[in-house]
Amino acid sequence: MATEVPRDKYHAVWIIFFILGLACLLPWNFFMTATEYFTKRLSDADGDVLESIFPNAMTLSAMVPMLIFTCINSFIHQRIPQKLRISGSLTVVLVVFLLTAALVKVEMAPVPFFCLTIFKIICINSFGAIFQGSLFGLAGLLPASYTMPIMTGQGLAGIFAAFSMICALATGSDLQDSAFGYFITACVIILLAIFSCLALPRIEFFQYYMESDRSRTSTDEEENKQDLLKKVKRPEDNPVVVVNLTAEEDKQVVVVSQIEEENRPVVSVLAIFKQIWVIAMCVCFIFTVTIATFPAITLGVKSTVADKGWNMYFIPVSCFLLFNVMDTIGRSLTAVCMWPGEDSIWLPILVGLRVVFLPLFMLCNVQPRNYLPVWFGHDLWYILFMIVFAFSNGYLASLCMCFGPKKVAQHEAETTGAIMVFFLSVGLSLGAALSFAFKAMI
């Protein structure tokens, strides 16, 4: 008699996965949204150069470790328990944010402050990559619908970070006090994620699927052993090599080789790449353009409206909040509309057209500037560009990530997903590196 599947009472597991999804990208978004605070700390005479390169250095020190540790996680996930990888990564990120909040009140010279901040960004993105990969692996053991709360949480992480910064500024406190409250808010969310992670194994619904996975793994291992023994006993079907070794007990050791696994399709990464290379390149190009522009260039745009209040909120609202809202809308739209199709020539064309945002933002009122003129000085131009830029990023990236696994056989879908994530990470790293060159052109 089959065991009845327990219900997810009060949607507790769904809510926990939402919180963990929020915690995936929240740390990086909090650091990125607080760029004004960091550059303010670097604005001394000795820190002028550091202040100028900080947005680019911040992006590069985030994206390259993310790429490296995404790859590392694929090797260590079988050697380090999943629970340790998830809770351990969150704990490290929490310690980094506690240190960041404490240092708000500590005076520090620009150079050591710059180096320490870059080190903290490397830490949160390195452990964040391990946490994110482990979390999606954990969600894979549950019904497919439990991947959605993670994606939803990730989408709202940027909105939450931008909104928190706006609220901190709205209190009327100076930048230092606002930053302290801002980072403490992040600590509370990460702490909530840690407690949620610890509570997860106690929920009956989650226990059921973990036990099912363990049972399935044990059964598979036992079946593999039985199949192996059967094959060893039938030398006419499978060639074996028998080697007599002299040990203490003079036992004969049989070494079995050249046994082919039956009924298991072979997955070739090269063969998969040949089928999805256009979409993989599209994903890479989308994020190369996005990260080369945002936030390294978009952050430097200054408002031309003579209003002190609007100037204070201009970047938090027009850059960070607007980008994350439109990006989330673009991602969500793919649930009801998936145009152009996976084989349509319009998909790579639309992706390629996004390169126009590089000169458009560079010709906005980015300050300081030495070479290029300002063609789009009014704030409305910048806001209009940001709306289309963010929406196209979310919509096209989501389309490509959906289309990738659909172009291959079902048993190749998991490998295809890993390849797509790899090219996404490559795009992030390339964009971070190119942001230095584009910033220098201005």
Q: What is the pLDDT of residues 9-46, one digit of tens each?
A: 888 999 999 999 899 888 888 888 888 888 888 876 55
Strand partners, 255: 241
The secondary structure element, H or E, covering residue 313 is helix 308-314
- What average pLDDT does range 211-218 have in this prediction? 63
How high is the pLDDT of residue 222? 54
Nearest in space to 297 (alpha carbons), one of 274, 334, 323, 273: 323
Q: How confident is the model at residue 230 (pLDDT cuts 50, 70, 90)?
A: low
- What average pLDDT does range 399-407 have in this prediction? 81
Q: Mean pLDDT check: name the lowest of 64-78, 149-163, 325-339.
A: 64-78
Highest mean pLDDT among 200-204, 229-233, 410-414: 200-204
* Helix, strand, coil % in the chain, rounded to nearest 5: 75, 0, 25
Alpha-carbon span 197 to 203, nearest angstrom: 11
Domains of the chain: 9-214 (1.20.1250.20), 269-442 (1.20.1250)
Query: Is it the case that residue 227 has pLDDT exceeding 60?
Result: no
Q: Residue 264, by phi and psi: left (phi above 0), alpha (psi -120 to 50) or beta? A: beta
Query: Is it the case that residue 372 has pLDDT exceeding 80?
Result: yes
Its pTM stands at 0.76
Q: Mean pLDDT check: name the lowest of 43-47, 191-195, 256-260.
A: 256-260
- How much of the chain, in percent, has pLDDT values that exceed 70? 84
